[in-house]
Amino acid sequence: MPDDAPPPAQKQQGFATRMSHCGRAGTRVHGFVNPPVHRGSTVLYPDCAGRIGAAKRRFDQYLTYGTQGGPTHYALEDMVAEVEGGTRCLIVGTGLAAVVVPMLAYLKAGDHCLVPDSVYGPTRNLCDTLLKGWGIETTYYDPTVDEAGMRGLTRANTRVVFVESPGSHTFEVQDVPAIARAAHAAGAKVLMDNTWGIHHFQPFRHGVDVSIQALTKYVGGHSDILLGSVTVQDEEDWKAVRGAASTLGQYASPDDVWLALRGLRTMAVRLERQEANGLEVARWLEGRPEVLKVMHPALPGHPQHHLWKRDFTGACSLFGVVFQPRFSIEDVTRFIDGLCLFGIGASWGGYESLALPTTGFVTRTAGTGAFGGPMARLHIGLEEPADLIADLEQGLVRLAVVTS
């Protein structure tokens, strides 16, 4: 292509291509491939009038003060907005902060919010502690609710309907478009934790107003950073979340932001490989006599597989396993302790495989807590799936022998 030829239209470019080229200067520039890390707190102005005028641009990607971000943050904002299909993106220090900021942006004393019973534990804790203390009421609902059911749950003071699809630990897929229609009919905003569905679920095509990501997971990809993002499509929503973040003093380290930029360059191939690895392991586990069911939305036996197939273009490599009821929680813990290739730790989305027992760590208050047996959560990394299966097999054989 000649140097002065226009690039192909971005809408015709594939995801991996966009992740390789978005958020950097381009291919026809003199300099390093990757943008540098910009660190700073104080921003200098040529004169007083310039500083006064900058205040009018506090919602733009414009240097005003360090807490508002700089060029490194802007590049990641642009890339995540591209991934999510939104127009504006806010980068914050953690995935939980990405939940807190929009919740506080839209809720005040006397308001009501609806949250799925399958929600991420720290989100539930936020609702049950700080929000409750500030006079904000939360109702937990069955994540499999339909549009009519959601309409019946909304109230005159319902301001936020939160969705997380699939659900944390138990992987219920929600009918987000139906829930969004009911929420919008009641005048509520739809906030979605879309971390599991990054790239594969386009939130704004399905009625979501604010999309939340734990960039710690697949964006970082190497289990060495903590970051979150809040993405919107509407300018009014941008002012709400950006204003709340500024008021709360939310900020993200530019060094972590730079690492997230680097992670995004390879996320497309990691997602593809880890999806394939995860499905291979999940299908193998489905055939094991020790397993009652595998909670993976991409498997045809999943109760909401039809919703996943309708709304998602792929799957990540995190899923749940329910063991036969003859096994105890202690049995499952011993099985996990005996694995060699699976680390035992929180988070997921990195290159390494992880396993955690989840029975006893799942809180349900809306009558959705019957799963049939003790549970574990697996994250499948970039190891060879045959090696992971061999590791799981030796653990399951030992589990069966110990409990016989």
Structure tokens at 286: 């489905």
Structure tokens at 246: 């500024």
For residue 165, pLDDT beyond 50: yes
Q: Indicate yes or no: pTM above 0.85.
A: yes
The pLDDT, as a whole number, for residue 9 is 53
What is the pLDDT averaged over residues 141-147? 98
The pLDDT, as a whole number, for residue 401 is 67
The pLDDT, as a whole number, for residue 199 is 97
Burial class of residue 151 in the structure, from the number of CB atoms within 10 Å of its CB (0-12 exposed, 13-18 middle, 19+ buried): middle
Contact 392, 339 (CB under 8 A): yes
The pLDDT, as a whole number, for residue 32 is 81
Greater confidence (252 vs 30) lies with: 252
Long-range contacts of 299-308 (CB under 8 A, 24+ apart): 302/171, 302/173, 303/144, 303/172, 304/144, 304/172, 304/173, 304/174, 305/173, 307/173, 307/174, 307/175, 308/166, 308/173
The pLDDT, as a whole number, for residue 18 is 87
In 3-state terms, what secondary structure has residue 254?
A: helix
Structure tokens at 31: 């300099």
